[in-house]
Structure 1
Amino acid sequence: MTESVATRQRFLLVLLLFLHTVNTYMDRVCISAAKGPMQSDISGLSDQMMGYVFGIFAIGYALFQIPAGMFSDRAGPRLALTIVVIVWSVFTALTGAVFTAISLLVVRFLFGMGEAGAYPGATRALYKWLPAKERGIGQGIFHSGARVGAALSLVVMPALIDWIGWRWTFVANGFVGLVWGGVWWYWYRDSPSDHRGTNQAEVDLIATGIAEQQSTPLNIPYIQIVTSANVLLAMFQYAASNITFFISITWLRPYIEERWGSQAANLSALPLLVGAVALWLSGTLVTLLHKQGMPVLSRRIPAMIGFALGAIGLLLCTQTADSETVWPLILCFSIALFGVEMTLSPSWALCMDIGGDRSGAVSGAMNMVGNMGAALSAVVFPYFVAKVTMPYFALETGTANSFFVFAATINTLAMLAWLFMNPLRPLRELSAGKLRLRLASFAVMIVVVIAALIYTNFLMR
Structure 2
Amino acid sequence: MTHDSLNVSERPTHRRWTILSLACGASGFLYLHRYTWNFIRPALRDEYDLSNLELSYIYNAFNFAYTAGQVPSGILCDFFGPHMFMVAIIVAWSVSLPGIGVTGGSLPGLCAARALFGVSQAGCYPSLAKISKTWLPIKTRTIGQAMIATLFGRGGGAVSPLIMGTLLMATMGLSWRWALVAIGVTGLVFAMLFYFFFRNSPEVDPNTNQAEVDLIRADDPGSTETGGVLNFWHVIQNPSMCVFMLQQVASAGADFVYVALMGSYFLDNDVDMSWAGLLVSLPLWGGAIGGFIGGFVNDGLIRITGNRRWARTTAGFSGKFIAALLMASIVVLHANPYVVGGMLFFVKFFTDWSQPTVWGTCTDMGGRYSATVFSIINTCGGVGGIALSLSAGGILDYYATELPDGTLQNNYDPLFLAIAALYLLSGISWFFINCTNRLDKDEVFLHPDFADGTPS
Same fold (TM over 0.5): yes
Q: 2:314 aligns with which of 288, 301, 304?
A: 301
Are 2:126 and 1:120 equivalent residues in the alignment? yes
Q: 2:279 aligns with which of 235, 250, 267?
A: 267
Please give the alpha-carbon distance, in whole angstroms, between the structure 1 residues aligned to 2:413 and 2:440: 45
**Equivalenced residues, count:** 415
Please give the alpha-carbon distance, in whole angstroms, between the structure 2 residues aligned to 1:254 and 1:131: 42
Please give the alpha-carbon distance, in whole angstroms, between the structure 2 residues aligned to 1:176 and 1:272: 21
Please give the alpha-carbon distance, in whole angstroms, between the structure 1 residues aligned to 2:178 and 2:97: 11
Are 2:345 and 1:334 equivalent residues in the alignment? yes
**Corresponding residue for 1:439?**
none
Please give the alpha-carbon distance, in whole angstroms, between the structure 1 residues aligned to 2:346 and 2:264: 20
Q: 1:406 aligns with which of 389, 402, 418?
A: 418
Judge conservation of contact 1:313–1:334 (CA < 8 Å) in 2.
Answer: no
Please give the alpha-carbon distance, in whole angstroms, between the structure 1 residues aligned to 2:440 and 2:175: 57
Please give the per-residue CA displacement for 1:307-351, whole angstroms capped at 9, x wherever unaligned: 121122123223221x4x445433433332212111211111111
Judge conservation of contact 1:151–1:272 (CA < 8 Å) in 2.
Answer: yes
Please give the alpha-carbon distance, in whole angstroms, between the structure 2 residues aligned to 1:166 and 1:213: 43
**Corresponding residue for 1:63?**
68
Are 2:121 and 1:109 equivalent residues in the alignment? no
Q: Which amino acid aligns with 2:346?
A: I
Judge conservation of contact 2:135–2:202 (CA < 8 Å) in 1.
Answer: yes
3-state SS in 1 of match to 2:95:
helix
User: How has the CA–CA distance of structure 1 residues 244 and 426 changed in structure 2, closer, same or farther, with 3 Å as cutoff?
Assistant: closer
TM-score, with normalisation over the residues of structure 1?
Answer: 0.80
Please give the alpha-carbon distance, in whole angstroms, between the structure 2 residues aligned to 1:261 and 1:186: 43
Please give the alpha-carbon distance, in whole angstroms, between the structure 1 residues aligned to 2:206 and 2:440: 39
Please give the per-residue CA displacement for 1:69-96, whole angstroms capped at 9, x wherever unaligned: 1111111011221222122223225445
**Corresponding residue for 2:29?**
23
User: How has the CA–CA distance of structure 1 residues 6 and 369 changed in structure 2, closer, same or farther, with 3 Å as cutoff?
Assistant: same
TM-score, with normalisation over the residues of structure 2?
Answer: 0.80
Deviates more, 1:129-138 or 1:403-412: 403-412
Please give the alpha-carbon distance, in whole angstroms, between the structure 2 residues aligned to 1:169 and 1:414: 36
3-state SS in 2 of match to 1:185:
helix
Give 1:429 shift. Answer: 9.9
Are 2:15 and 1:12 equivalent residues in the alignment? no
Name the Cα RMSD after superposition. 3.2
Give 1:236 shift. Answer: 1.5
Please give the alpha-carbon distance, in whole angstroms, between the structure 2 residues aligned to 1:233 and 1:172: 41
Judge conservation of contact 1:320–1:328 (CA < 8 Å) in 2.
Answer: no
Q: Which amino acid aligns with 1:160?
A: L
Where do residues 173-252 of structure 1 align in structure 2 (5 Å cutoff)?
Answer: 173-211=183-221, 221-225=231-235, 228-252=238-262
Judge conservation of contact 2:38–2:260 (CA < 8 Å) in 1.
Answer: no
Q: Which amino acid aligns with 2:119?
A: M
Percent identity, aligned pairs only? 24
Q: 1:284 aligns with which of 296, 316, 339?
A: 296
Are 2:372 and 1:364 equivalent residues in the alignment? no
Please give the alpha-carbon distance, in whole angstroms, between the structure 1 residues aligned to 2:440 and 2:208: 37
Judge conservation of contact 2:317–2:428 (CA < 8 Å) in 1.
Answer: yes
Give 1:62 shift. Answer: 0.8
Judge conservation of contact 1:271–1:337 (CA < 8 Å) in 2.
Answer: yes
Judge conservation of contact 1:282–1:342 (CA < 8 Å) in 2.
Answer: yes
Segments of 5+ residues of structure 1 without an aligned counterpart are 389-396, 431-461
Deviates more, 1:272-281 or 1:400-409: 400-409
3-state SS in 2 of match to 1:296:
helix
